[in-house]
Amino acid sequence: MQEVYERVIVTNDLSCTHGNSELAVVHACKSPCHQNAVGYRGSLSNQHPNYLVLEQENDLFLNIIDPPAPLFMPPLFSHFIEFSNKHWSQGKKLLIHCNQGESRAPSLALLFLAKVVSAIPNDSYEAAREEFEKLYPRYNPGKGIQKYFSKNWSVLGSNF
């Protein structure tokens, strides 16, 4: 568990907890968090209303995996940014976790710090990554996230 910026914490699933009045939690893992929260095993129909995300008060459960090819859907990142900004603006700590704490969770933290907080450069994914790695040396993004962020950086978080 590491605070990468004021009130922004990145960690792995060993630190999985639920949000409360002082903490908002982003669960950036399909298994087990999204599956348990939505109540399914295996895969979920993409027609299900909570296929991508399930927000429950101070918790955001993301149906996100870390494949070598980018299979991400833009609304997933929009929901993440809206949820995170809302709770961070309220003065809460933001805990973002994935299974290993190396790719998905830190990538989301990087996105938030660049696009919303302006704590690291927003010029490009590469510039943001270079600065973020100083804050979180364990950052080891999967090839899919790297490709997706590099290709879509200018539109990610464009509503902020």
CATH number where 7 lies: 3.90.190.10
pLDDT digits (tens, 9 = 90+) for 50-91: 999 999 999 999 999 988 888 888 899 999 999 999 999 999
- Kindly state the tokens that stand for 9: 């914490």
* Residue 115 resides in a domain: yes
Residue 80: what are its φ and ψ, rounded to 5°? -60, -50
The pLDDT of residue 1 is above 80: yes
* Residue 21 resides in a domain: yes
Tell me the C-alpha distance between 159 and 97, whole Å: 24
- Kindly state the tokens that stand for 100: 């290993």
> Residues with Cβ < 8 Å from 92, sequence gap 6 or more?
7, 19, 21, 22, 23, 24, 58
61: helix, strand or coil: strand
- Kindly state the tokens that stand for 114: 């660049």
* Residue 160 resides in a domain: no
Q: What total number of domains does the chain contain?
A: 1
* Residue 135 resides in a domain: yes
* Residue 158 resides in a domain: no
112: buried, middle or exposed (CB in 10 Å: 19+, 13-18, 0-12)?
buried
* Residue 8 resides in a domain: yes
Average pLDDT over residues 89-113: 97
- Stated pTM of the model: 0.95
User: Could you list the residue range(s) of the whole structural domain that residue 87 is in?
Assistant: 2-152
* Residue 157 resides in a domain: no
Neighbouring CB atoms inside 10 A of 93's CB total 17
* Residue 33 resides in a domain: yes
Tell me the C-alpha distance between 99 and 119, whole Å: 25
Q: Which helix (H) or strand (E) holds 111?
A: helix 104-115
Identify the pLDDT of residue 93.
98
Tell me the C-alpha distance between 35 and 63, whole Å: 8
Identify the pLDDT of residue 160.
57
Q: What's the mean per-residue pLDDT of the chain?
A: 95
